[in-house]
Amino acid sequence: MARYIFITGGVVSSLGKGLASAALGALLQARGFSVRLRKLDPYLNVDPGTMSPFEHGEVFVTDDGAETDLDLGHYERFTGVPARMSDSVSSGRIYSDVLEKERRGDYLGKTIQVVPHVTNEIKEFLLVGEDEADFMLCEIGGTVGDIEGLPFFEAIRQFTHDKPRGQCIFMHLTLLPYLAASGELKTKPTQHSVKELQSIGIAPDILVCRSEHPIPDKEREKIALFCNVRKEAVIAAYDLKSIYEAPLAYHHEGLDQAVLDAFSISPAPKPDLTVWKDVVDRIHHTDGEVNIAIVGKYVQLEDAYKSIKEALTHGGMANRVRVNVEWVDAEVFDSEDPAPHLEGFHAILVPGGFGERGTEGKIKAAEFARTRKIPYLGICLGMQMAVIEAARNLADLPDAGSEEFDHESGKKRFTPVVYHLKEWVQGNEKVKRKPGDDKGGTMRLGAYNATLTEGSKVAGIYGSTAIDERHRHRYEVDTKYRKALEDKGLKFSGMSPDGRLPEIVEWADHPWFIGVQFHPELKSKPFAPHPLFADFVRAAVENSRLV
Ligand code: GLN
């Protein structure tokens, strides 16, 4: 039976709860325990799938096809434990399940209330897979005091009483603001935030205090005294140069020890931090740097491409180089020469995206990379744009485009080289979609296998001809145009096992030009960089030596 650690936040949002949870997960693993991390989001969207990346950042897709919060990406990158559908839930999902049960008559005519019906639903979610890990780390989104968060706080409070004593602990993140005028760290907001927690029946066992300045002993004592925690359980969280320093930094501050103490696990198993020392060493001891352009649409909010940015960092670590990422707005050169915007980069990445806006710029970026022999990695929409570029410029299809854009504009303007897929096979099952289906979950989502051509560049990079990767898209490259494109040198080097869906394309006579229909960035880890990203950065390094 798992021990539960509930992670909450107070004072302000964006304190790094997700990172603290992920780093704690990694530290518990380093001490030999198995972990699973989970996110409970108070917002009313059923899942983040339909939320704008501008607002919510990237949607992280799991192997089993859930569209989840980007914090699950942190969890996976730090622990290597593949997240599942059952690791992410929102108020919207909980309420929609409760209401569905009510409509079905499951509650036998009872009055449906937040307590106990909604809270019970949340508690059931917490219990899924409790036998599979030593520790279950459950992060509650938002901050204590938010109206939407209340049922979650109430549920975790009840949950600790359903479990034997000592089976659950609470870890609360707060902020210690620094007042320059008096040269002091202020503890009052932390005290208030803990009071808020206590007023709903939760007494934190551990306080993680974000601070831009060292926390003096005297302040630590004060926090411990006023917030009713042990002094050793007041953990400092200072700003870090790289997020990957977090496990070592938290270990240094005693977080994992404090957690084991709170559970009375004694003697505590010694941690093996070799992996994290190597990760940090690779970040800080680099030999050279490369500049990579991410040509996208959601460039104002870097979180929109969180996993790509991280995967590029991992690729840099594999090659011991620093990767400087620059976000280039594709829309800017929709109808101009992209050269002034793209010259000087050692490699170009066109990420996934939805909608027509900015796609002409992305098509130009693909052409620029192809003709100038610059390493290019096209992910999902980035692959589709590379195929459209080839179709328009080399395969006599000047009107080549994606059905996605015709659907959006309601006009028939393009030859659909990329078409709307409505029927496909997942495992042994047939999946069908109609154009009018509701927006949530109508995509090809989650892990699918692909078969790579023997002797292709990608087979060499993966070191295998059988792979599985995560997908999130509605449209597919039409194999009807395969021959015409392959005759011009664009090889379809990865296909779905039934041969119907193109998974990877690559230019045969280019140093490094690969488009993938899936999202390799979702599976990259600092201690196991994804082979495509490792090799893409290697190609960028090689290119940087030529210029
Ligand atoms: N919009 C494209 C599709 O649905 C690409 C999606 C993506 O890049 N994730 O197929």
**Amino acid 525: pLDDT:** 98
Give the dihedral of Cα atoms 522, 240, 56, 355; nearest 10 deg.
-60
Judge whether 521 counts as a catalytic residue.
yes
Q: Is 305 in the pocket of ligand 1 (CB under 6 A)?
A: no
Q: Is 472 in the pocket of ligand 1 (CB under 6 A)?
A: yes
| pLDDT over threshold 90, residue 431 | no
Q: What domains can you pick out in the chain, each with its CATH number?
A: 3-279 (3.40.50.300), 290-546 (3.40.50.880)
pLDDT digits (tens, 9 = 90+) for 512-522: 999 999 999 99
**Amino acid 173: pLDDT:** 98
**Amino acid 473: pLDDT:** 94
pLDDT digits (tens, 9 = 90+) for 455-481: 999 999 999 999 999 999 999 999 999
pLDDT digits (tens, 9 = 90+) for 144-165: 999 999 999 999 999 999 999 9
Least confident of 23-27, 42-46, 422-426: 422-426
Q: How does residue 546 score in pLDDT terms, banded at 50, 70 and 90?
A: confident
Q: How does residue 51 score in pLDDT terms, banded at 50, 70 and 90?
A: confident
Q: At what angle do helices 17-30 and 71-79 cross, to 10 degrees?
A: 20
> How many A from CA of 7 to the centre of ligand 1?
34
CA 200 vs CA 33, 125, 152, 154, 323: distances in Å: 31, 21, 11, 7, 46
**Amino acid 57: pLDDT:** 81
| pLDDT over threshold 70, residue 435 | no
Judge whether 138 counts as a catalytic residue.
no
Q: Is 381 in the pocket of ligand 1 (CB under 6 A)?
A: yes
Ramachandran assignment for 142, one of left (phi > 0), alpha (psi -120 to 50 degrees), beta (any other): left
pLDDT digits (tens, 9 = 90+) for 181-209: 988 999 999 999 999 999 999 999 999 99
Q: Is 205 in the pocket of ligand 1 (CB under 6 A)?
A: no
Tokens of 77: 């990158």
Q: How does residue 212 score in pLDDT terms, banded at 50, 70 and 90?
A: very high
| pLDDT over threshold 70, residue 441 | no
Of the residues 139, 380, 506, 530, which is catalytic? Answer: 380
CA distance 70 to 43: 14
CA 155 vs CA 40, 280, 459: distances in Å: 11, 38, 49
Q: Among the atoms of ligand 1, which is closest to the Cα of residue 476? A: 10
Mutate to test the pocket of ligand 1, among 58, 67, 295, 381 (most ligand atoms within 8 A of CB): 381
pLDDT digits (tens, 9 = 90+) for 325-350: 999 999 988 889 999 999 999 999 99
Q: What is the pTM of this model?
A: 0.93
Greatest Cα pair distance, the chain, in angstroms, is 76
Mutate to test the pocket of ligand 1, among 420, 473, 476, 501 (most ligand atoms within 8 A of CB): 473
| pLDDT over threshold 90, residue 402 | yes
pLDDT digits (tens, 9 = 90+) for 116-142: 999 999 999 999 999 999 999 999 999
- Taking residues 76-95, report their average pLDDT: 95
Of the residues 154, 310, 389, 521, which is catalytic? Answer: 521
CA distance 252 to 40: 28
Query: How many helices, marked H, and strands, marked E, lie in the chain?
Result: 19, 25
Q: Among the atoms of ligand 1, which is closest to the Cα of residue 472? A: 9
Mutate to test the pocket of ligand 1, among 475, 501, 517, 519 (most ligand atoms within 8 A of CB): 475
**Amino acid 532: pLDDT:** 98
Q: How does residue 439 score in pLDDT terms, banded at 50, 70 and 90?
A: low
Among residues of the chain, what percentage have pLDDT more than 70? 98
**Amino acid 533: pLDDT:** 98
**Amino acid 195: pLDDT:** 96
Q: How does residue 236 score in pLDDT terms, banded at 50, 70 and 90?
A: very high
Q: Mean pLDDT across the chain, nearest whole number?
A: 93
